[in-house]
A and B are shown apart, each in its own frame.
Chain A
Amino acid sequence: AQKITQTQPGMFVQEKEAVTLDCTYDTSDPSYGLFWYKQPSSGEMIFLIYQGSYDQQNATEGRYSLNFQKARKSANLVISASQLGDSAMYFCAMISNYGQNFVFGPGTRLSVLP
């Protein structure tokens, strides 16, 4: 079965510092994709970054980068230079089984302190 684990229910970071949000996954499918979404208090899900299981390089999108360690089945999100607007819930998600399964992790609430 596909499963996403996010072990940090809540995280605090000082403004302008970097923060790493953990995500580990479990799947037996050789081909899968990993996503990170941000959900602010307003509720909408905002796509941040995607990493394919066969991608050779770690994905980066602006201040977001994904630290993909395939052997360890981890896909941590790194946010550099945190901003107050980064305070939100962050969900790691995985697609697998040839696109049939799409599962979200339990989420991590990030609070950026001024």
Chain B
Amino acid sequence: GAVVSQHPSRVICKSGTSVKIECRSLDFQATTMFWYRQFPKQSLMLMATSNEGSKATYEQGVEKDKFLINHASLTLSTLTVTSAHPEDSSFYICSASLSGRKFEQYFGPGTRLTVT
């Protein structure tokens, strides 16, 4: 149980375009989803916390207008990277929580974004 999927697993886009990444909890309802970013050979950095039906809470230094997060249902959250630039190329990982607590996070497989 507690499976989280992400789509796409890999995406290549051109500078200036937008790309949407989906995070789904497949067999449970996630009140809270988290979005992380991981640069090569570095650790995961929390970008934002997304609660179903409300606005996401962004970590300091993360641009809200650039990384749009929508948590429209208890099983789906989306991250849209707007006007992508090469420096946005990274590995984006989502996690979902049954209880809303960071204590219990189930991670998705990640999405590798390359902006050319």
Contact = CB atoms under 8 A, between A and B. Distances in A.
B68 interface: no
Interface in A39-60: 42-47
A55 to B, nearest CB: 13
B109 A106 contact: no
Interface string B76-89: 00000000000000
A46 B106 CA distance: 8
| Chain A CB within 10 Å, residue with most, of B42, B43, B107, B108 | B43
Interface in B46-98: 46, 91, 93, 95
Contacts, number: 42
Interface residues of B, number: 19
A102 interface: yes
Contacts of B46: 102-103
Nearest to A43: B110
A102 B100 CA distance: 13
A95 interface: yes
B11 interface: no
A44 B110 contact: yes
Contact of A44 (B42, B102, B103, B108): B108
Nearest to A105: B43
A106 B108 CA distance: 19
A108 to B, nearest CB: 11
Nearest to B42: A106
A44 B112 CA distance: 11
A104 interface: yes
Contacts of A101: 102
B102 A45 contact: no
Nearest to A9: B41
A99 interface: yes
B44 A99 contact: no
A37 to B, nearest CB: 8
Interface of B: 34, 42-46, 91, 93, 95, 101-103, 105-110, 112
